[in-house]
């Protein structure tokens, strides 16, 4: 019989060692089982902490029959929030980048892969820096996991597993996000998250939120961006600042201001000005239709309104654009040009465009008798002319040298001559000027009109208040109407 001496565990340095002077006997068959039990318990805790490895291991074993590989755990913090431009209906704040193609700076979603944030009840605390711990995820699958218990939510038709073992516990995910798949029952707590499968060893976190429906740009945004595109050498990029869309010309900001294009100091007095002319412009002249009696009365009313309240637009934007705020400054900006054999003065910035228009017309005249006859019948070319628009308090584009009038030779019948070219002249000889049909109006050949339009000149013959001799450099009108241009400065 073997007698074991008592061991003073308080004085032991380690297993099997005690301070000198003490007698003891340690039996190996008692120590080894104790160590094995401790290691087994630690292994169980590791298995319970990393449940996805075991869940994936069983699936791999079922397919291959071989033990699954050991995949290390990956821990990745969730982002605090998903940021983007303002909500739909509001432009992005000043200084932010332009919205992407989706309109909210977020990638477009295909639908099934999107993850949407759910509202957190007021009574629930907001988690701080939540984390997702994943070992591995089944590729090409969508798994719903409870954010309270970490348990996998069974799919439709699948029986709910019992307990919270390795086969049910998928990941530890912070509460506060809910997006169960359409065919999966929601967890009673309502705190579930849908995670798309990825390669083994990859952490999967929500990458984006569902963007709101894309809203069309406002009229102010469209116009200011069109101006910036039409004159890139003079106008900076359009920005949303101080509550409105604006563009900069040599350091001064001009705001949309409901179409009035005003500098900062005049925004408070916007009601004193009429909007600038931005309008629909068609690629082809609409078919002629005789105005109805109701439309005729409307024209008469507009004529009376025009005489009683002449149009008054702010000139500040165009003065800055053409660098001409008075007659002398404007004259300093114009240059002479021989156009179709006749001398004309225009703003120096449109010399190239007019030269290209002339080249096109002369090429057409070589093979088109109608174009050549139109050239031969030209009488007067009027470009720069410092004046207001007739019967208005607004400056004409002729004042900047940005418009051109091409008048034919007189036919001898002054009434026909005046009424065929300009609505205001027609109103002097007949009260119903709007009833003059296309067939009785001076009409350049369509190929000539197209040559001007291709290089940014609108034709006044397409206006309701027609001006068939008038061409005006307004490339922004073509941009706003999605019409092609051959060149943009």
Burial grade of 53 (CB within 10 A; 0-12, 13-18, 19 or more)? buried
Contact 249, 234 (CB under 8 A): yes
469-476: average pLDDT: 97
DSSP per residue over 226-291, as a string? Answer: HHHHH-TTT----EEETTEEEEEETTEEEE-TTTT-EEGGGGGGGGGSBPP------SSPPPP-PP
Query: pLDDT tens, 117-147?
Result: 333 333 333 344 443 343 434 444 444 444 4
Query: pLDDT tens, 433-448?
Result: 999 999 999 999 999 9
Q: For residue 138, what are the contacts with CB-CB under 8 A and spacing of at least 6? A: 56, 59, 197
Query: pLDDT tens, 33-74?
Result: 454 554 444 444 444 434 344 434 433 444 444 444 443 433
Contact 178, 139 (CB under 8 A): no
pTM, 2 dp: 0.58
Weakest-pLDDT range from 52-61, 70-79, 227-236, 426-435: 70-79
Three-state secondary structure call for residue 378 = strand
Please give the C-alpha separations between residue 207 and each of 13, 24, 169, 181, 196, in angstroms, as whole numbers: 53, 64, 23, 17, 11
- Report the chain's mean pLDDT, rounded to a whole number: 71
Q: What percent of the chain has pLDDT over 70?
A: 56
461-482: average pLDDT: 96
Q: What percent of the chain has pLDDT over 90?
A: 48
Query: pLDDT tens, 194-215?
Result: 444 444 444 555 556 677 788 8
Q: For residue 160, what are the contacts with CB-CB under 8 A and spacing of at least 6? A: 154
For the chain, the structural domain boundaries read 34-119+127-216, 219-272, 293-480
pLDDT at 208: 61
Three-state secondary structure call for residue 453 = helix
347-357: average pLDDT: 96
Contact 316, 266 (CB under 8 A): yes
């Amino acid at each position: 019989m073997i007698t074991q001496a008592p061991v003073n565990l308080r004085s032991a340095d380690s297993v099997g060692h005690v301070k000198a002077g003490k007698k003891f006997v340690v039996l190996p068959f008692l120590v080894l089982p104790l160590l094995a039990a401790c290691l087994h318990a630690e292994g169980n805790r590791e298995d319970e902490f990393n449940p996805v490895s075991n869940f994936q291991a069983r699936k791999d074993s079922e397919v291959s029959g071989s033990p699954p590989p050991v995949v290390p755990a990956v821990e990745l913090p969730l982002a605090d929030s998903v940021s983007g431009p303002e909500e739909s209906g509001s432009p992005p704040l000043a200084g932010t980048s332009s919205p992407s193609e989706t309109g909210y700076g977020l990638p477009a979603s295909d639908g099934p892969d999107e993850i949407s944030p759910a509202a957190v009840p007021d009574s629930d605390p907001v988690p701080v820096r939540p984390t997702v711990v994943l070992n591995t995820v089944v590729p090409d699958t969508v798994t719903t996991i409870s954010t309270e218990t970490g348990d996998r939510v069974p799919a439709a038709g699948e029986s709910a597993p019992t307990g919270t073992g390795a086969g049910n516990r998928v990941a530890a995910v912070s509460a506060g996000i809910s997006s169960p798949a359409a065919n999966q029952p929601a967890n009673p707590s309502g705190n579930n998250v849908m995670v798309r499968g990825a390669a083994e060893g990859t952490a999967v976190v929500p990458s984006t939120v569902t963007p709101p429906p894309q809203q069309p740009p406002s009229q102010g945004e469209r116009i200011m961006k069109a101006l910036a595109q039409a004159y890139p050498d003079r106008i900076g990029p359009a920005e949303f600042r101080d509550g409105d869309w604006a563009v900069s010309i040599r350091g001064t900001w001009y705001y949309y201001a409901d179409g009035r294009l005003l500098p900062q100091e005049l925004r408070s007095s916007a009601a004193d000005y009429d909007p600038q002319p931005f309008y629909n412009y068609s690629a082809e002249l609409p078919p002629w239709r005789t105005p109805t009696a109701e439309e005729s009365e409307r024209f008469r009313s507009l004529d009376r309104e025009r005489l009683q309240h002449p149009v008054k637009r702010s000139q500040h934007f165009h003065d800055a654009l053409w660098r001409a705020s008075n007659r002398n400054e404007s004259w300093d900006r114009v240059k002479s040009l021989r156009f179709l054999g006749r001398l004309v003065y225009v703003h120096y910035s449109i010399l190239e465009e007019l030269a290209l228009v002339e080249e096109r017309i002369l090429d057409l005249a070589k093979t088109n008798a109608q174009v050549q006859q139109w050239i031969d019948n030209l009488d007067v070319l009027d470009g720069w002319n410092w004046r207001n628009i007739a019967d208005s308090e607004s400056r004409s584009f002729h004042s900047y040298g940005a418009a051109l009038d091409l008048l034919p030779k007189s036919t001898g019948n002054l009434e026909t001559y005046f009424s065929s070219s300009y609505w205001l002249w027609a109103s002097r000889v007949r009260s119903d000027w709007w009833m003059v049909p296309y067939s009785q109006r001076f009409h350049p050949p369509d190929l000539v009109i197209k040559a001007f339009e291709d290089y940014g000149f609108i034709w006044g013959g397409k206006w309701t208040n027609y001006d068939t001799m008038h061409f005006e450099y307004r490339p922004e009108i073509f941009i706003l109407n999605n019409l092609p241009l051959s060149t943009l400065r």
